[in-house]
Chains A and B, each alone.
Chain A
């Protein structure tokens, strides 16, 4: 079944009840001479969007400085209610479209269209952004399933029924170090797990629903990890098929491929793809 649709013009609810404003944390690492380069020659900025319960910090640990060192201006935004962005008190009423708004606002502050890189839930946000805004490129890392996370939930109900129950009643999906970054030493891994925050319960429910994405006029890359314990790896195939691309598989790394040991490999592949295709 195709997970694509044609252009959506009528966004009545966006016109009638637009998302409220929230303070945004945007972390960045930009090569020193980048802004002086002429527009036609300079490399595009990269905008990273984090996943469920994460924040911009997860990219600031390794990827932002490494991307900047490789010559790419790199930005990461914390969606509202995450990281040091505002909106924490309203997280119970936050919807996916609020996240789309946050990313759109961040984009308009960039000097030129970025390559958008979304991780997990952030990959879904990135796709919803890309169907209304043409980025230089769209990279989807261990993406949340376009076909809806109902399958993940039923798997969760069998293997970890208490976690599943927690999500059903509006709690944040428990994420464990072993699934996110199995390659890290316990103290470091614990420090990262401690930084995870709450997720909007309404957004978690939205993730259960199947999605169709409108036309995306940009090169697309889809990256997955075969041992992923958070998203169904079938989501990687479905997402890649939706854009008619072959998924790129990174073996031996956890769901959080920007934090786990070996984060250099996926980043190198990503930057190489940007250089070649975007």
Chain B
């Protein structure tokens, strides 16, 4: 029986562990926090959820397909419910006996075709393969501007609740889903709120056409409507509900629908319309407590919250193993690494949808591959080589993503899973 290590016990680590074990692989997990859940383990040092975090996608595509969320959960569960869900998944499938908690992996090293894993206490173990599932939303990306800001600065990584905003003049930077959440909470709690964004975005509603909007989007995909028609329908929906963004003083989007990661927030525009959030362009420079914006305006600010995202970090690996030629990982199917056929990554994706249906199928593909590697190494090697030869294939759903660190790992869920389905069918056809 071959042995695999799984680094991280968030949703992707749990799914990899469960699927590997289901395929008869002796898999073992390592988690540096004292509980499972990864990002969703609220309060843990590397958890980035805040008190009010809710899912921005609904249950059907967000849940593991072989372990649905309870019917009693709402469309958009809270992080508390999500964490409870992961716990019941791990308990149901008996994973807790196979995870070492409070155990940090500090080094993963190839040795004689196998992998040597070193833990923080200096001990270690050797495995046939390694699944890296340490997450990519924990290392804050902080922008730099000329001048010095003398007020308070935090990154959303350290934002836990709206207490820090109360009574202050707040500047929120970034219009991702966290940026919009924080801007809304600031509108509800702070003295005043400025919201700086580099470009205009489409702020999608959580409900559209009488259904959760991600389900509506999947309905249009199920009906096989072409991209242009789907774009038209979404723009029409926004036009008919919110109307013209520029009327609110928000910048017009400089890109087409589906070209940036979707921001799903119904309340942002609401508060802009009530004057509780003032839209601002990019920051130009700081001068003491004054922030100058690129449009020439300036404002006095007490607190800046950078909701500027995260960078993927793999402190226990050599960067070259994930991409010998570039500055960020380029993986076949976002899973298979170019240098080693037994070092795989799960969770290095940013889907335009819910995530854990994809976590399940990544785990299933890794497990089917690991099982084939044990049974028929030659067939597994040729499968691996075929995939790695296609490493530059992106799954964009026909669109072109904006070139920013935010979109390195962006995938269109329907294209991505269609490819995974074919890969699984190919693995199953090897007898």
Contacts and interface: CB of A to CB of B under 8 A. Distances in A.
B93 A215 contact: no
Nearest to B219: A16
Nearest to A22: B71
B164 interface: no
Interface in A91-130: 101, 104-105, 108-113
Interface string A165-208: 00000000000000000000000000000000000000000000
Contacts of B357: 15
B260 interface: no
Contact of A104 (B68, B417, B420): B68
A39 B361 contact: no
Given A15-B215, A112-B94, A8 B67 contact: no
A16 B218 CA distance: 5
A10 B425 contact: no
Given A108-B92, A112-B92, A112-B94, A101 B425 contact: no
Contacts of B59: 18
B424 interface: yes
Tell me if A's interface is mostly helix, strand, loop or mixed. loop
Given A16-B219, A21-B71, A101-B68, A9 B417 contact: yes
B424 A9 contact: yes
Contact of A39 (B61, B70, B94): B94
Given A108-B67, A112-B94, A132-B66, A217 B22 contact: yes
A171 to B, nearest CB: 30
Nearest to A7: B424
B377 interface: no
B364 interface: yes
A159 interface: no
Chain B: interface size category: 35 or more
Contacts of B424: 6-7, 9
A111 B215 contact: no
Contacts of B97: 39-40
A106 to B, nearest CB: 11
Interface in B379-431: 414, 417-418, 420-421, 424-425, 428-429
B67 A10 contact: no
Nearest to A217: B22
A229 interface: no
Count chain A CB atoms within 10 A of each CB in B88, B218, B421 and give the residue with the most: B218
Contacts of A6: 424-425, 428-429
Given A105-B71, A132-B65, A217-B22, A7 B421 contact: yes
Contacts of A40: 97
Contacts of B221: 12, 16
B428 A7 contact: yes
Interface in B269-315: none
Given A6-B428, A14-B60, A17-B215, A134 B22 contact: yes
7 contacts: A7-B424, A7-B428, A14-B60, A15-B357, A101-B68, A104-B68, A109-B70
Given A9-B421, A13-B222, 19 more contacts: A6-B429, A7-B421, A7-B425, A7-B428, A9-B417, A9-B418, A9-B420, A14-B60, A15-B60, A15-B215, A16-B215, A16-B216, A22-B71, A40-B97, A101-B68, A105-B71, A112-B92, A132-B66, A217-B23
